[in-house]
Amino acid sequence: GDSVTQMEGPVTLSEEAFLTINCTYTATGYPSLFWYVQYPGEGLQLLLKATKADDKGSNKGFEATYRKETTSFHLEKGSVQVSDSAVYFCALRGDNQGGKLIFGQGTELSVKP
């Protein structure tokens, strides 16, 4: 079945460092890909998405490109801030599967001043 694999955390960075969180997926057909973020004490929020190959999703300085050839959707940010500290989840929505999301295990990011 479809699945998502994320790099394990926690990831600890200094403010203004470059961030990469790896995400790879296994799916048949043409899934849509998402990054959700969960700030401490809050619910899941959509960060960005891409619905077809080579699409780039972006929001709040974060970017991810849908790479079908490598089945990847890595999250990047050029300069992280303390306020980016959160848990990040990669997810896919498969074709003809009712819209349900399949999530990776999450990657905790901690940014130190």
Binding-site ranges for another protein (CB under 8 A)? 4, 36, 42-46, 49, 89, 91, 98-106
Residue 36 identity (one-letter amino acid): Y
Residue with Cβ nearer another protein (41 or 113):
41
Q: How far is the CB of 13 from another protein (least distance, A)?
A: 20
The radius of gyration of the chain's CA atoms, rounded to the nearest angstrom, is 14
Q: How many CA atoms are closer than 13 Å to the CA of 91, on its beta-carbon side?
A: 19
Residue with Cβ nearer another protein (17 or 106):
106
Residue with Cβ nearer another protein (42 or 69):
42
Backbone angles phi, psi at 29, to 5 degrees: 75, -140
Q: How far is the CB of 85 from another protein (least distance, A)?
A: 17
| Helix (H/G/I), strand (E/B), else coil: 54 | coil
